[in-house]
Structure 1
Amino acid sequence: MKPAPRLPEHPPRLWKDAEPRKAYDVVIVGGGGHGLATAYHLAADHGITNVAVVEKGWLAGGNMARNTTIIRSNYLWDASAGIYEHALGLWETLEERLGTTVMFDQRGVLNLAHNLSDVREGKRRVNANQLNGIDAHWLTPAEVGKLAPVLDVSERPRHPVHGATFQPRAGIAKHDYVAWGYARAAYELGVDLVSDCEVTGFTQTGGRVTSVSTTRGEISAGTVVLCAAGHSAVLAEKLGVRLPVQSHPLQALVSELLEQVLDTVVMSNAVHVYVSQAHKGELVMGAGVDPHIGYGRRGSFHVVEEQMAAAVELFPIFARAHVLRTWAGIVDVTPDASPIVGPLDAAGDNVWINCGWGTGGFKATPGIGDVFADSVAHGRAHDLVAPYALERFTTGRLIDEHGAAAVAH
């Protein structure tokens, strides 16, 4: 097994928290990965620098700080493959673009098959991926065992491994380094980053939103961009729009620091767990979302218990590991398990929304930042996000990725 890489050090101060000004060309609500990436691309690619990113807590302290950092593009449908593959291509050059390390480690992702249905679905996905130019392969149990020797690929488990899809270019990154990189780059281009600034309402005049009310004062806005993940429905309701989005806690956990034993990411829908080993050595594990709707960040004990049982079934050696800590984020889930990206016309002709990524938001960060900024700058949806318009829920042109998102990822 390869040794864990040494973590690079960052300077102690990358940006300064701004005092919000009275007016901006663009106000982005939500200082997570998507909000910061959108702000960066607006400034870097379109010359729009009179931008404020307002965050009710600390910058990148929501889902960006609570995700499990898996990056992949092996989605089934063309629309999903398009945006995630675009993002993966940008991940591969992100350190050069931002001028900082993000520790993107292309160790590959295995999606295990445990029954005939899994095998058929996996091979279907591989074929669809290859047609879209995405690196995807079908592996036998023996080949899976070579990639992940600590995985039990014998016939002993209750759900034996019958094969797996494998995407070699997939991997993990250091989530806080990604956020800091975008924040620093946006700040250096003139974007104001405003933390501890909760949005409490909006002023609408003549079919437009003219200002954003916050706990740090009223801010006039030429364009309003909502990138608030699990709290998007709450913000949209303040604008008189009811989104087809539900918010659920999503739990994950890490073990104590261990020697490197797992050099790839392993995901299983049937056993319902996914596992990777972080750069420092801890095992990072997660499963599906809690079934209840809510905004709590602790989740339910039985979900942790079930994902531990699943992990030990797949990796018997992990029974000796100790859980160090658990946490939860708030994910926003749509009926077709795909995001909503585009103009929020019902709220005014200058409001844009980016939400509904469920458990897949982190991996999309560079791609959605790029194309969402392009959409806002030009006043029309970029081709890669055009299928994700809110109107698809009335036209019936859904993008049903439930098969790809049955386990959190």
Structure 2
Amino acid sequence: MPFRLLKYALNREYKEPRFFRDCQTPKKSYDAIIIGGGGHGLAAAYYLAKDHGITNVAVLEKGYIGGGNTGRNTTIVRSNYLTPDGVNFYDASVKLFEGLSEELDINLFYSNRGHFTLAHTESAMRTMRWRAEVNKHVGVKSRVVGTDEISKACPQLDISCSGKAPIQGALYHEPGSIARHDAVAWGYARGADSQGIEIFQNTEVQSIDVRDGKVHGVQTNRGYIATGKVLSAVAGFTPRICKMVDLKTPIVIHPLQACVSEPMKPWLDTILVSGSLHVYVSQSSRGELVMGASLDPYEVHSTRSTFDFVEGLTSHIVDMFPFLSNVKVVRQWAGMADMTPDFAPIMGKTPIEGFYLDAGWGTWGFKATPISGKTMAATMANDKAHDLIHSFRLSRFEDYELTGEKGAASVGH
């Protein structure tokens, strides 16, 4: 350990402060309440204060900060989507991510890797060309590449996939990156707290007070809190919160599982996704392979993990990388993915005055964390949907104006 670092560690004058205050007793009223202390909720709180000067805000988290889907994803950041609306939205998030470590003064371990979406069939190649053209049209760096370029970027990959599903090409997305999910949540929490936002952990919302079509407050396990604005940013718990205000959405909840291997020396420099094999994989800064697959095919409001998932996933990983056959899986987990029919989120105002929704993220919520916080903060501050999220409004399902992103879902991610 360098002497100058040891000097600070042993000096009481440089005691490290708490990341954020340990708030225990909520005030009787707030200008706004955010339900959900994950990345999206904390980002919205941060930008409410930073961009709009609204600091009389409480974030209510029934568990602990980042303990939901924020801490259960596979940390991939990308913007190679299928619709212009989706590409523009996620590209804005990528741009925010690139400067977020400096803005929040925390190391997010943001690492640009490049993202390959592998195609094993001609129909898959047609989809890759389609996505590449949409991406180029709005200025996002994506292009179709052949097997030579894939092998050059990742020589360890068996292009034949053990002869079961030979790779024909891929969509290469240059901005594809990974970041440390916990650091994103904690960074936004500290940033919000430093501007006066109050964060309450172990604080469950039990009901929402709606009278004459308008929000008046929330009832929690710490008492009643008056407010005229409530944002729900609770991912897989969205149906339960929406039920409190008698709001119907087309969201269904499916488990999404992931796992990590034992640490290895760095060898996988890129992010690889295979829609045909139902696999996506990257290597973390600690050397673990972070792996995931498609959604579980049934609706279950649970974060349990299964042997069936890890058995199927690892068999396909070995098809791609035969030399990994003896590597151990050390941990697996699941999150609750809030899915919409068109694979795009639901964001913005709702028919209940003062109730705002940030939901329907399915399997791609982490990568949208910064821009979702920024646009929802603007929407709450102005009581008008931000231009970037107009296509994600709840009323699109009644208007039959869906935003079809299923072709860009990249398996379960």
TM-score (norm 1): 0.95
Q: Is 1:24 paired with 2:30?
A: yes
User: How far has the Cα of 1:156 moved from its partner?
Assistant: 4.7
Q: Which runs of 4+ in 1 moved over 3 A?
A: 9-12
What SS does the corresponding residue of 2:215 show, helix, strand or coil?
Answer: strand
C-alpha separation in 2, matches of 1:216 and 1:344: 27
Structure 2: stretches of 5+ with no match in the other structure: 1-8, 10-14
Secondary structure at the counterpart of residue 222 of structure 1 = coil
Residue 353 (str. 1) matches residue 332 (str. 2): no
Amino acid at match of 1:198: E
Task: Quote the residue 2:85 is aligned against.
Answer: 79
The structure 1 residue matched to 2:279, chosen from 273, 277, 286, is 273
For 1:303, the equivalent position in structure 2 comes to 309
1:286/1:15 CA distance change after superposition, 3 Å = same
How far does the alpha carbon of each residue in 1:48-107 deviate from its partner, in whole angstroms, 9 at most, with x for none?
000000001001100011110000000010111111000001011111211221111011
The CA RMSD measured in Å over matched residues stands at 1.4
Q: Which runs of 5+ in 1 are unaligned?
A: 1-8
Residues 33 and 59 of structure 2 are in contact (CA less than 8 Å); yes or no, is this contact kept in structure 1? yes
**How do 1:216-227 and structure 2 match up within 5 A?**
216-227=222-233
Residues 268, 282 of structure 2: 8 Å contact kept: yes
- Aligned position for 2:388: 384
1:157 paired residue number? 163
Does the CA contact (< 8 Å) of 1:76 and 1:404 recur in 2?
A: yes
User: Matched residues, percent identical?
Assistant: 43
Query: Alpha-carbon deviation of 1:155?
Result: 7.4
Q: CA deviation at 1:334?
A: 0.5
Match of 2:135 in 1: 129
**Stretch moving more, 301-310 or 255-264:** 301-310
Match of 1:195 among 201, 213, 218: 201
Q: What CA distance in whole angstroms lies between the structure 1 residues aligned with 2:308 and 2:31?
A: 47
- Residues 113-262 of structure 1 mapped to structure 2, 5 A cutoff: 113-154=119-160, 156-262=162-268
* Equivalent pair of 2:82/2:134 in contact (CA under 8 Å): yes
**For the structure 1 residues 267 and 219, does the alpha-carbon distance in structure 2 shift closer, same or farther, using more than 3 Å as the test?**
same
State the AA in 1 paired with 2:241: L
Take 1:220 and 1:86, find their aligned partners in 2: how far apart are those partners? Answer: 34
Partner of 2:12: none
TM-score (structure 2 length as normaliser): 0.94
Contact 2:292/2:313 (8 A) holds in 1: yes
Question: 1:151-206 deviations in whole A, cap 9, x for unaligned?
Answer: 11147521111111111111100111111110000000000000101111011123
SS in 2 for 1:257: coil
The separation in 1 between residues aligned to 2:50 and 2:180, in whole angstroms, is: 23
Letter in 1 for 2:400: G
Which of 9-18 and 270-279 deviates more?
9-18
Q: How far apart are 1:299 and its partner, in Å?
A: 3.1
Note the 1:310-329 alignment, pairs <5 A: 310-329=316-335
Match 1:394 to one of 370, 395, 398: 398
Of the candidates 91, 98, 102, which is equivalent to residue 108 of structure 2? 102
**Equivalent residue number for residue 292 of structure 1:** 298
